[in-house]
Amino acid sequence: MKIVADENIPLLDGFFAPLCQDLVTLPGRKMSNADVADADILLVRSITKVDQALLQGSKVRFVGTCTIGTDHLDTDYLEQAGIKWANAPGCNAKAVVDYVLSCMLVISEMKQRSIRDMSVGIVGAGNVGGMLLETLTQVGVEAIAYDPNIEGLDSEELKTAVWQQDIVTLHTPITKEGEHKTFHLVDDARLSSMKPNAVLINSCRGAVIDNQALLRHIREVKTFSAILDVFEEEPSPNDELLTRCLLATPHIAGYSLDGKYQGSAMIYDALCEFLALPRRTKLEQLIPEAQLRKVSFSSESEEEFVLQKMIRSGYDVRDDHYRMKSLLGLSDEEKAKAFDLLRKNYPVRRDLNRLVASARNIRGNYMLEALGIKMKS
Ligand SMILES: NC(=O)c1ccc[n+]([C@@H]2O[C@H](COP(=O)([O-])OP(=O)(O)OC[C@H]3O[C@@H](n4cnc5c(N)ncnc54)[C@H](O)[C@@H]3O)[C@@H](O)[C@H]2O)c1
Ligand SMILES: O=C(O)[C@H](O)[C@H](O)COP(=O)(O)O
């Protein structure tokens, strides 16, 4: 059996090599019909378009994407061709929640407002948005969510109110058809309807926002801010858009080690089921232990300070923003290479809930519990 896989999928040797005779790794953006012709199994991440053009005439029987998103798979074609496919729902949801929390700290500093004085509107309350809503609510942030497919969150009232918050964060798939399509969900009209001093965060898919409309809006409304992890023009985002964003990062919101490893583990499980083989390898055997972070507070520490320090100890989005600045001024071709390299060589980042805090006399442990941080005295 032959497996062809994106070279950026972690744990290929640990999970997949034992299942096959031949494991070939290739750059995800460059996979061709010839590359997969004699493969039985194809493993991808979000940058490989998997459609008839790629698979026609091949032996491929199973396609696994080690990601949450599936917009790069032509699932209608796969189903009609009898090719089984699987994705990894929820694998990196915690990483995206941590990303949004870290962004909120930056916003709170910029606006000189407590993180718990700003309201948050969440558009799409699936794996990511649902976890974010729960976390923010537990931490004491005023948060609401709209989702047309979730009972209780599907009202007309929420559909309007969600855009009227201080921070609006997008967590939908990209869809081009249907009553609730999300392509250019955020356009000129939507932007004009938002608070003039709002912050819009997009860590789902670039084209959920009309990027040109956003650029016009942030040029004109100086108090409005945008934080983008995803762009319509990936992997060569527009320089002016990058410069005008409060934070810009290279599609890494879900790039914690835990999120990426879980993506591989979920596809390994799905492949074993497809092949009717026992699951001999477990993620726990392959994932390194998270480091114990000693974070000290005095009994006088304010709750807000405890919250800020713990989030920052786990993940500081500004590091990714500064790395992204290296793209400015490059040609489109150079920029695409640099964008992909930032992602390929992404530093190890652990989910906040993998951290253990060694701390005494903490006020507001309930907030750390909400983040999933274990306490050790
Ligand atoms: N930047 C990254 O690294 C990164 C990481 C993970 C996921 N993502 C993206 O984020 C998206 C969301 O992830 P998820 O795991 O929560 O997906 P999910 O499928 O669990 O949830 C998406 C939710 O959006 C809702 N939705 C659909 N159309 C909507 C609309 N018009 N308005 C409001 N809600 C709508 C759906 O009903 C669903 O509940 C993924 O599809 C993926 O594209 C990006
Ligand atoms: O859909 C997802 O899971 C994310 O967008 C994913 O983290 C993107 O990473 P990539 O597949 O491009 O490596």
> What confidence score (pLDDT) does residue 289 get?
85
pLDDT for 207 equals 98
Q: What is the pLDDT of residue 269?
A: 98
Helix (H, G, I), strand (E, B) or coil at 33: helix
* CATH for the stretch 2-87: 3.40.50.720
Q: What is the pLDDT of residue 68?
A: 95
What are the backbone angles phi and psi of residue 265, rounded to the nearest 5°? -65, -40
Contact (CB, 8 A) for 308 and 368: no
Q: Is the dihedral of CA 344, 346, 352, 356 positive or negative?
A: positive
Structure tokens at 137: 């609510």
CB 180 near ligand 1, within 6 Å: yes
Residues paired with 86 in a beta bridge: 64
Q: Are 59 and 82 in contact (CB under 8 A)?
A: no
**Look-up: residue for tokens 């249907």?**
178
193 lines ligand 1 (CB under 6 A): no
Q: How far is the CA of 345 from the centre of ligand 2 (A)?
A: 15
Q: What is the pLDDT of residue 105?
A: 96
Per DSSP (E only), the strands in the chain are 2-6, 22-26, 41-44, 62-65, 84-86, 120-123, 143-146, 167-170, 199-202, 225-228, 247-248, 292-294, 356-358, 374-376
Q: How far apart are CA 176 and CA 345, in angstroms?
A: 32
Question: Do 92-248 and 2-87 fall under one CATH topology?
Answer: yes
State residue 307's pLDDT score.
85
Q: Is 251 a catalytic residue?
A: yes
The CATH superfamily of 92-248 is NAD(P)-binding Rossmann-like Domain (3.40.50.720)
Q: Please state the residue numbers annotated as binding site for substrate.
A: 46, 67, 255
Q: How far apart are CA 217 and CA 219, in angstroms?
A: 5
Q: Which residues of the chain are modeled with pLDDT < 50?
A: none
Q: How far is the CA of 358 from the centre of ligand 1 (A)?
A: 34
CA of 325 to the centre of ligand 1 (A): 27
| Per-residue model confidence as pLDDT tens digits over 226-235 | 999 999 999 9
Residues of the binding site: 46, 67, 147, 172, 229, 254-255
What's CA 39's distance to the chain center, in Å? Answer: 29
Tell me how far apart the alpha carbons of residues 127 and 297 are, in angstroms, rounded to a whole number.
32
Phi, psi of 3 (to 5 degrees): -115, 130
Q: Which one from 171, 184, 190, 205 is the annotated catalytic residue?
A: 205
Please say if 205 is a catalytic residue.
Answer: yes
pTM greater than 0.90:
yes
Architecture of domain 294-375: 2-Layer Sandwich (3.30)
State which ligand 2 atom lies nearest to the alpha carbon of 92: 3
State the ligand closest to the CA atom of 45: 2
90: left (phi over 0), alpha (psi -120 to 50) or beta: left
Half-sphere exposure of 265 (CA within 13 A, CB side): 17
Match 């909120």 to its residue by tokens. 104
- Domain residues of the chain, as ranges? 2-87, 92-248, 294-375
Question: Is ipTM beyond 0.90?
Answer: yes
- Please tell me the predicted confidence (pLDDT) of residue 313: 85
Q: Are 281 and 15 in contact (CB under 8 A)?
A: yes
Q: 3-state DSSP: the chain helix, strand, coil percent, rounded to 5?
A: 45, 15, 40
Give the pLDDT confidence of 324-343 residue by residue, as tens digits: 999 999 999 999 999 999 99
Which pLDDT value is given to residue 360?
64
